[in-house]
Amino acid sequence: MAQDTIVNGVNVDQFFNSIDLFKEKPELALFKFRAANKWLGGTKGQATVKDFYGPGQEDTSREASSFDLDEPIVLLGKGEGTNPVEYLLVALSGCITTALVVKAAAQKIPLRGVESRFEGDIDLRGFLGMSPEVPVGYKEIRVYFKIDADISDEQKEELLRLAEKYSPVSNTIKSQTPVSVHLEK
């Protein structure tokens, strides 16, 4: 049995095999991801992530992960956790990074290091309902990437454009993604 091709720690054969598989059976490309949340008083809460659906079946193999949520003291909290809009940047940071690394691997471009920083602007008058003109969410998010690899700046830019184009979190944020909120009785 031939050895799989690994670039940047990514199994490139598994990547291309997935494309072949999803061409044949597109229903196997449909995944469902989940989280649960429990309010702990004030602005504190705990979120849990465990199971997901895909490919074609429930996956319960991972351990549960828990995340503490809180607002800083200046925003009605106790500062004993990371706040929701910061978790959104955590999500975005992981997503563009992974998209970059996987797309580089698919092109057999080895990377030595990838570091990035994320900053988003929020005008709290939106949340407080003080003015309908003020956006409630992030007004803008800025992202800065450092890529350590033996490729030209133009190739780094190209990789970054690919990563941005194919990052699920970035696309969820940039598109008008529907969110439906239901009361369970």
Among 4, 58, 108, 119, binds a copy of itself (CB under 8 A): 119
Residue 150 contacts a copy of itself per CB under 8 A: no
Among 4, 108, 109, 117, binds a copy of itself (CB under 8 A): 117
CB of 53 to a copy of itself, least distance (A): 9
Residue 143 contacts a copy of itself per CB under 8 A: yes
How long is the chain? 185
Tokens of 85: 């809009």
Residue 107 contacts a copy of itself per CB under 8 A: no
Would you call the peptide bond into 55 cis, given omega within 30 degrees of 0 as the criterion?
A: yes
Among 5, 107, 138, 149, binds a copy of itself (CB under 8 A): 138
CB of 7 to a copy of itself, least distance (A): 10
- Which residue in 101, 116, 119 sits closest to 167, CA to CA? 101
Please give the residues from 32 up to 51 whose contact with a copy of itself meets the rule CB under 8 A.
32-39, 41-45, 47, 49
Residue 62 contacts a copy of itself per CB under 8 A: yes
Residue 110 contacts a copy of itself per CB under 8 A: no
Determine the straight-line distance between the first and last CA of the chain, rounded to whole angstroms: 55
Q: With respect to a copy of itself, which residue has the nearer C-beta, 68 or 108?
A: 68
Up-side HSE of residue 177: CA atoms within 13 Å toward CB? 9
Q: Which residues contact 158 (CB under 8 A, 6 or more apart)?
A: none
CB of 127 to a copy of itself, least distance (A): 5
With contact defined as beta carbons under 8 Å apart, do 122 and 139 qualify? yes
Residue 149 contacts a copy of itself per CB under 8 A: no
| Backbone region of residue 76 per phi and psi (left: phi > 0; alpha: psi in -120 to 50; beta: other values) | left
